[in-house]
Structure 1
Amino acid sequence: MATARALFLLGAALLSCTLIGASSRGVENRRSLLLPVPNNGPAIFDVTKFGAVADDQTDNIDAFRAAWGEACKNSTTQAKVLIPAGTFRAAQTMFAGPCTSPKPIIVEVIGTVKANTDPSEYVTPEWFSFLDIDGLVLTGNGVFDGQGAASWPYNDCAKTKGDCAPLPASLKFAKVNNSIVTDITSLNSMQFHFHIHGCSNFSLSNINITAPGNSPNTDGMHISSSDSIKVFDSVIGTGDDCISIGHSTTNIAITNITCGPGHGISVGSLGKRPEERSVNGISVTNCTFVNTTNGARIKTWMGTVPAEATNITYEGLIMKGVQNPIIIDQSYGSNKKTTPSTSVWKISNIHFRKIQGTTVSNIAVSLQCSTSNPCEGVEIADVDLAYSGGPHNTTFVSSCSNAKAVFGGILNPPAC
């Protein structure tokens, strides 16, 4: 564990040092590489002017870092880093702040950026990361291709029950605040597509995320230790949760997402590690789930340190052939699914409202809560689901254990 931590810190230090060095050497020469400022708009730092080659072979990490360094650290006007049309290869890359250029700093991706496929080249578990930036705009209709198919065979997390080295996330945002990501495509990530950690006042919209339904641990977005995050108007199809909301998060709003394939939109999993803290204020509205394993899901481990998940609303959802449309699972990660949960996490003030469509499971509503901390304030209202599995004479039911739930309005299946 000490060796792994040392490697992590060393890798982060090397990336940061390289970035700083690239931004400070030859400043005067590189100023001539700027394109003219159009109509008093941002100064444009085109990566090809810094040596990037769109041949799908050359590693462009140095050119990317040099362009970012000039835009972030040395521009006296608003700056834009441009990755133009073409296919650019890049090894592990960090765009790090804080920036001194006027806000916001823009990264416009028009072309395709492809990851290197050798996992040993990554000293930390992310491919393209943005660190310590206030006022970032990432846009441009471009593609980040993680080329995950080459790495998925190395994912042994299922065999080791989570005790494994994570593969790199495609895009990681850490301590990125007051920022926007829009019109970006993430294709075939090695692990998470987007990892948002320690961020605030951050919105993501018109995002297209694609990976096969059997690709391991390829969560579309994983949000943790963050506040005031909005995700909307996006299409996510992947091999794990379309969106997973991790520990220590508050005020997360998710709306108008099409999810599938995937494992649904989940709060959790929570409680696996003792440092994990509570989750409060999650809203998932007007989303559609297509052939997913889950729809609206809350999942906790048994845990060792008490915390809570509270003030969570799933509303206005459409299910199309979903296996588990509504589920609370407080035995997540346990080998003893038949044994009642004793999770130390408290789940309260939960609302499942206006949910309709079809399910292939005869148990459409499953509330499996902790015997130690029964779920409180759970509302199931206007849930109108039809069973589309087989055989058709199967009883269509709700299942509740240790859940203090109130049912109202249209109810198909009927209340517990």
Structure 2
Amino acid sequence: MASSLHMMGALALGISCLIIVNAMDAAGDQRRRLLQAETVFDITQHGAKGDGTTDDAMSLIQAWKAGCEGTGAARILVPPGKFMMGEVVLRGPCKAAPPMIIDIQGTLLANPNPSAYSNLMWILIEHVDNVKITGGGTLNAQGPTAWKFAKEDQHMPVSFTFQSSQNGDISNLNLVDAMGFHSKLIDSINIKVTKLTITAPDESPNTDGIHLSNATNVEITDSTIGTGDDCISIGTGSKNILVKNIKCGPGHGLAVGSLGKRPDELSVGNITFSGCTLTGTTNGARIKSYHKSPVLTATNIVFEDLTLDSVKNPIIIDQHYFSKLVSEESNVKISDVHFRRIKGTTISEIPIMLNCSKTVPCENIELADIDLKPVGPAKSVSSACQSAVGIKPSGTVIPAPPQC
């Protein structure tokens, strides 16, 4: 009996030690910051005027450099006020104790001249691991003066680009009136994005809210996005993506793609959109690819628990995206796609459209518990498809699943 009690006590002690060690690991970064007094690098102490007209970009760059090259905990502060800035590049790696914090409390105003951005990026953060970007402030790119120059082959500067970095945390920011895309996450791993508000008029061209390219292990949650293009678009090489609790509209909806426009693109997969609300958008749940694409796969994609209000194309796979001038079909193989528990209203009489490639037909498309009612110009609803095999309906599906 004594031996059993001794063994149980040792086991309990071992579990307690394990819990303590795990808790210490989880809190490690914060503890290191507490042990090393945080230094605040205020951009006004590096010459920023904050008058809304003087270019304060160099002040932010200098504050960043001072904090990044130090060995203690660093906070780069943009205090309340209006700071006009042209092109800003914040580059690592940093020596500072993690996490490096960028605290944007004020408003950054972009130089409204698109030609001022040599890399077509306004604010670029690259090669910086363990960074936290927050503060409740605003990035206003003053896009209306640039939108008239936007064309399919003439892209405008991206407001915020997070590139070639890992373990990033982006939260509590407002992005307004981007010239081009509002934000891009590129070649990055383990990124959390939450509580963003992204706003631009419905007619603003190519102003996607958040675009992912070669991004892995990304969570985008609890944000409100209304733009002139996709609220969120998942591009080449992106895997293990969760998009949850997004309010989208106006805009073009939630998209995987477009895929296959360029010859060096990579496959995508393990992507989930969950618990989102779309209001007045052109599309709801969309997957899109170009004709004459490289051989790619787009697999294990889930759209679930979506609520739609007056959405034009609630459920759409379009493998003929922007392809009127190219006859060759798409080579993007789309499979294991799940549309689950999608309900609401549509202004289209064909709210379920599966328009797949004749070369590589879509496979294993689930339609489960769909309830789409017509409003406005739509008097009735039906489904349509081309080159889709293995459509799997379950529960109530309104309109009835398409017959290919």
| TM-score (structure 1 length as normaliser) | 0.87
TM-fit CA distance, 1:343: 1.2
C-alpha change, 1:129 and 1:408, in structure 2 (3 Å) is: same
Question: What is the SS of the residue equivalent to 1:66?
Answer: helix
Partner of 2:312: 323
Question: Structure 1 vs Structure 2: percent identity of aligned residues?
Answer: 40
Question: Quick one: structure 1 residues 204 and 41, their matched pair in 2 at CA, closer, same or farther if it must change by over 3 Å?
Answer: farther
Distance across 1 between alignment mates of 2:229 and 2:292: 22
Deviations 1:158-187, CA, capped at 9 Å, x for gaps? xxxxxx232110000111210100000000
On the 8 A contact 1:299/1:330 being kept in 2, the answer is: yes
Q: What is the CA distance between 1:40 and its match in structure 2?
A: 6.0
Unaligned runs of 5+ in 1: 1-36, 158-163
Could you tell me whether the CA contact under 8 Å between 2:349 and 2:378 is conserved in 1? no
For the 8 Å contact 2:122–2:160, the answer to whether it is kept is yes
Corresponding residue to 1:381 among 365, 368, 382: 368
CA distance in 2, matches of 1:383, 1:331: 24
Cα contact 1:274–1:303 (8 A) shared by 2: no
Deviation at 1:304, TM superposition (A): 3.6
Quote the residue 2:343 is aligned against: 356
- Alignment partner, residue 44 of structure 1: 40
Deviation at 1:415, TM superposition (A): 1.4
**What is the correspondence of 1:107-186 to structure 2 with a 5 Å cutoff?**
107-157=102-152, 164-186=153-175
Assess if the C-alpha contact under 8 Å between 2:194 and 2:221 holds in 1. Answer: yes
Residue 285 of structure 2: aligned partner: 296
| RMSD of Structure 2 on Structure 1 (CA) | 1.5
2:375 is the counterpart of 1:402: no
CA contact (8 A) 2:36 2:72 kept: no
Shift, 1:389, TM fit = 2.8
Larger radius of gyration: 2
1:208-257 Cα distance to aligned partner (Å, 9 max, x none): 00000000000001100110011000000000000000011110100000
Shift of 1:390: 2.5
> Hey, what does 2:81 align to over in structure 1?
86
Secondary structure of 2:44's aligned partner: helix
Paired with 1:63 and 1:375, the residues of 2 have a C-alpha distance of 52
**CA deviation after TM superposition for structure 1 residue 76, in Å:** 2.2
Residue 247 (structure 2) aligns with? 258
TM-superposed deviation, 1:41: 4.8
Partner Cα distance (2:238, 2:292) in 1: 17
Instruction: State yes or no: 1:248 paired with 2:237.
Output: yes
SS of the counterpart of 2:164? strand
Structure 2 contact 348–378 (Cα < 8 Å) conserved: no
SS in 2 for 1:134: coil
Q: Which residue of 2 aligns with 1:20?
A: none
- Check conservation: 1:303, 1:345, Cα contact below 8 A: no
The question of whether the paired residues in 2 share the 8 Å contact of 1:381 and 1:409 is answered with yes
Shift of residue 336, structure 1, vs aligned partner: 6.6
* Amino acid in structure 2 at the alignment position of 1:401: Q
Offset, 1:269? 0.2
Counterparts of 1:287 and 1:391 in 2: how far apart (Å)? 23
TM-score (norm 2): 0.89
SS of alignment partner, residue 361 of structure 1: coil
Q: In the aligned structure 1, how far is the partner of 2:223 from the partner of 2:160?
A: 16
> What SS does the corresponding residue of 2:127 show, helix, strand or coil?
strand
Deviation at 1:411, TM superposition (A): 1.0
SS in 2 for 1:58: strand
1:110-135 Cα offsets, whole Å, 9 max, x none, are 00000001111111110001010000
- Report the 3-state secondary structure (helix = DSSP H, G, I; strand = E; otherwise coil) of the residue aligned with 2:285: strand
Q: Report the Cα offset of residue 274 of structure 1.
A: 0.5
- Kept in 1, the 8 Å contact 2:347–2:378? The answer is no
The C-alpha deviation readout for 1:240-295, integer Å capped at 9, x for no partner, is 00000001111010000000000001000000011001001100000000000000
1:303-318 paired onto structure 2 within 5 Å:
303-318=292-307
Partner of 1:33: none
The aligned counterpart of 2:14 is none
Residue 264 to residue 65, structure 1, CA distance change in 2 (3 Å): same
